[in-house]
Homo-oligomer: A and B are copies of this chain.
Amino acid sequence: MPKIVDKDAMRERILDAAENAFHRDGITQVRMVDIAAELSVAKGTIYLYFPSRAELIAALVTRFFKSAENPLAAAPPAPSLEAFQKMILQMVTASSPDESTLLRFFSIFGAELKNPDISTPLAAYFDMLAEALGAELSRLAPNMPDPTQTARALVSVIDGLMLHRGLFGHNADIDTTKRLITAILSSP
């Protein structure tokens, strides 16, 4: 007899709305009413699903890193160093800045980077990426001096390229980026 809604789905919809609004207008500019409006519901509804703004934001952080699984795992292992280079290049240039999870994350949580709740999972995410890259590197370029270190540095480099691409709309043309990545990934 009662009205029933899918609570989990509604939570997700609220998180989606919040994420969009934060990304579009900046986390400090977005009020609870704005998130509600984004969903065409009343403010009170938000509070049926999240006890406070802070907890909503915490849930958003959690979700970010749950979804941010290893993008390398999805793709089939690269058959050669050349193919691997190409894949990295894709990673940097393929996604339009607005789709970039990382940029989205920065634009929302940039100011909270000193907050361990934010920086710890972020650091873990980059380490995970580096580990996966390092394993591929060892396999594909056995002569590479220090694959673990190289992979971690490569992650920093990729992040820098993506960030600038996203933030400043700067598109180092594909050729240049390719040349850079090739240079880095070629055994000395």
Interface residues of A (CB under 8 A from B): 25-28, 106-115, 119, 122-123, 126, 145-146, 149-150, 152-161, 163-165, 167-168, 170, 172-173, 175-177, 179-180, 183-184, 186, 188
Instruction: List, in ascending order, chain B residues with CB within 8 A of A176's CB.
Output: 145-146, 149-150, 153
A163 touches B160 (CB 8 A): yes
B186 touches A172 (CB 8 A): no
Instruction: List, in ascending order, chain B residues with CB within 8 A of A149's CB.
Output: 172-173, 175-176
Nearest 8 interchain pairs by C-beta: A160-B160, A110-B110, A111-B111, A156-B164, A153-B172, A149-B176, A183-B183, A110-B111
Closest to A170 in B: B152
A27 touches B184 (CB 8 A): no
Shortest Cβ distance from A99 into chain B, in angstroms? 16
Instruction: List, in ascending order, chain B residues with CB within 8 A of A146's CB.
Output: 173, 175-176
Instruction: List, in ascending order, chain B residues with CB within 8 A of A157's CB.
Output: 157, 160-161, 180
Instruction: List, in ascending order, chain B residues with CB within 8 A of A27's CB.
Output: 111
A164 touches B173 (CB 8 A): no
A111 touches B28 (CB 8 A): yes
B156 touches A160 (CB 8 A): yes
A152 touches B172 (CB 8 A): yes
Given known A-B contacts A107-B111, A111-B110, A157-B161, A183 and B172 have beta carbons under 8 A apart: no
Instruction: List, in ascending order, chain B residues with CB within 8 A of A154's CB.
Output: 180
